[in-house]
Structure formats: structure tokens, C-alpha cells
Amino acid sequence: MHARVLADWAVQSAANRDSLLTAITTGGPQGVLDLALSISPLTLADLIFLRTTRLTVLDPAIAILDPICRGATDGADDIVVCHDSRSP
């Protein structure tokens, strides 16, 4: 929902597109999030949606994946490799 607001804002002017490009190239995901929130702040409905999504989608997925992936790394600290223990 905020991605659409950000996209609509970005196409309104060259200055907006430049601001979005700057946010992407210098701030990365956090920069884009900061820009999106400055254009369209979160509402109570947004917060309720995010909490519901966390409780109904993310938490159950983590509960399934965490036991499979716990401690499994592929040499890099930031990369976790999960192996399907059910495969032959």
C-alpha cells in the first residue's frame, strides 16, 4: 500500500524521482522506508495489518523454519542455509 503511494509520488516530478533515486542509492532499504514514511505516515490500520501479518504469517513460518535452519551456516555469518531433513 505504501509502495503504491511512493510510486505515485515519484512519477509526479523529476525532483521526486531524483529524491527516490537518492534514497535508493545512498540509504538502501532503510532510506526508501524513511522516504515512504515521510510521504505517507503509517496509520493505525497499517499497524494493525502489520501486526496481524506478523502473527498469522511470519511467526508460524519462523516456527517451522527455525528448527530446520538453526545453526546451519554456509561459512558466511549472514547466510543461513536450510537443509530439508526429509530428503533422502
The residues spanned by each domain of the chain are: 1-41, 43-88
- pLDDT tens-digit map of 26-35: 999 999 999 9
pTM of the model: 0.58
Residues 6+ apart with CB under 8 A from 80: 69, 72, 73, 74
Q: In this structure, is the dihedral angle defined by the CA atoms of residues 48, 51, 54 and 56, taken in order, positive or negative?
A: negative
Give the model's pLDDT for residue 45: 92
- pLDDT tens-digit map of 47-70: 999 899 999 999 999 888 887 777
Give the model's pLDDT for residue 65: 84
Q: Is the pLDDT of residue 11 over 80?
A: yes
Residues 44-55: b if buried by 16+ CB within 10 A, e if exposed = eeeeeeeeeeee
DSSP state of 6: H
